């Protein structure tokens, strides 16, 4: 069972496959991601976790997302993969297709993610690098036991990066993907991501500002809304929230 089917079997999941709306084989071809009037609640009667987001991310753009705890950063990542699909208004269009029209089992494997908590499957290292059995020639068959305690969470995040490197996707979401590695490893991972995914759209949710300082644009989230958006140096020069975050981080 792959990771997307595991999610789709959870209660009230989005359809896994929609027979009359299958994902085109070359999708996504450019990596344009557009949030249009996107608002999300976790339940009827709750406050909006995201409020009326409107932003077009260009093909190949590197976007850093920052904000205080509860600002809506992870909700945005979940929305891209439609792990939330109820109480949603507006849409997310990737290369011209509203992803809500596709089954999650169809479109999620076409995007790449390093989640906050990377998962190791039982079996082999090879299975962890190629869970969808796309016949990647990694040549590693070392056996792992369930939740293998020999791998730290940082090492599991490195596995996720290797997995992405071996099956490149046009759109990647890194949700605090380097949170559990040291600063030096984080820098190396960011360099690798910039060089290996230079033609891919990369949306990075960061808990360290250092991780996203070389992004093309930064989105600062606050209470579910976009408070600021622009190149990092421009935001610093403007002296707003991002500048305050950088100052507090003692850059
Ligand atoms: N499962 C949930 N049920 C109800 N509300 C939730 C749930 N998950 C998040 N929220 C709420 O949605 C809002 C946005 O949360 P989200 O986790 O997206 O923020 P975040 O910026 O990623 O925070 P953090 O940096 O702490 O991970 C918050 O008000 C949060 O309390």
A 10 A CB-CB count for 149 gives 8
Q: Are 75 and 173 in contact (CB under 8 A)?
A: no
Q: In the sheet that 48-57 helps form, which strands lie side by side, from edge to edge? A: 48-57, 33-41, 88-94, 97-98
Q: Are strands 201-205 and 171-175 parallel, antiparallel or unpaired?
A: parallel
Q: What is the pLDDT along the chain (251 residues), one digit of tens a residue?
A: 344 444 444 445 678 899 999 999 899 999 999 999 999 999 999 999 999 999 999 999 999 999 999 999 999 999 999 888 789 999 999 999 999 999 999 999 999 988 776 665 556 566 656 666 665 555 555 555 555 556 677 777 777 788 788 877 999 999 887 777 888 888 888 888 989 999 999 999 988 898 899 999 999 999 999 999 999 999 999 999 999 999 987 54
The pTM of the full predicted model, rounded to 2 decimals, is 0.85
Q: How far is the CA of 24 from the centre of ligand 1 (A)?
A: 33
Give the residue whose CA is nearest to atom 24 of ligand 1: 69
Q: Which residues line ligand 1 (CB under 6 A)?
A: 42, 46, 49, 67, 69-75
CA distance 70 to 243: 19
User: Is residue 163 a contact partner of residue 186, using CB atoms and an 8 Å limit?
Assistant: no
Q: What ipTM does the predicted assembly reach?
A: 0.97
Encoded tokens for 117: 């908590």
- Rounded to the nearest angstrom, the distance between the alpha carbon of 68 and the centre of ligand 1 is 11
For atom 3 of ligand 1, which residue has the closest CA?
42
| Mutation choice for ligand 1 from 39, 44, 74, 203, CB with most ligand atoms inside 8 A | 74
């Amino acid at each position: 069972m792959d990771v997307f089917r595991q999610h789709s079997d959870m209660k009230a999941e989005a359809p896994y496959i929609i027979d009359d709306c299958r994902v085109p084989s070359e999708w996504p071809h450019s990596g344009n991601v557009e949030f249009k009037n996107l608002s999300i609640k976790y339940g009827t009667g709750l406050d909006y976790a995201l409020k009326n987001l409107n932003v077009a991310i260009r093909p190949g753009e590197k976007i850093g997302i920052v904000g205080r705890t509860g600002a809506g950063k992870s909700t945005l990542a979940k929305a891209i993969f439609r792990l939330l699909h109820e109480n949603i208004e507006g849409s997310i269009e990737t290369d011209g297709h509203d992803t809500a029209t596709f089954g999650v089992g169809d479109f999620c494997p076409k995007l790449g993610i390093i989640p906050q908590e990377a998962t190791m499957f039982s079996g082999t290292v090879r299975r962890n690098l190629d869970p969808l059995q796309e016949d990647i020639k990694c040549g590693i068959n070392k056996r792992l036991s369930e939740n293998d305690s020999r791998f730290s969470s940082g090492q599991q995040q490195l596995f996720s990066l290797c997995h992405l490197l071996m099956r490149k996707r046009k759109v990647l979401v890194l949700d605090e993907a380097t949170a559990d590695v040291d600063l030096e490893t984080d820098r190396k991972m960011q360099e690798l991501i910039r060089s290996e995914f230079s033609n891919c759209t990369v949306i990075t949710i960061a808990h360290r500002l250092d991780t996203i300082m070389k992004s093309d644009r930064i989105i600062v989230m606050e209470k579910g809304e976009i408070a600021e958006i622009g190149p990092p140096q421009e935001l610093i020069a403007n002296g707003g929230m991002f500048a305050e975050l950088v100052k507090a981080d003692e850059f």
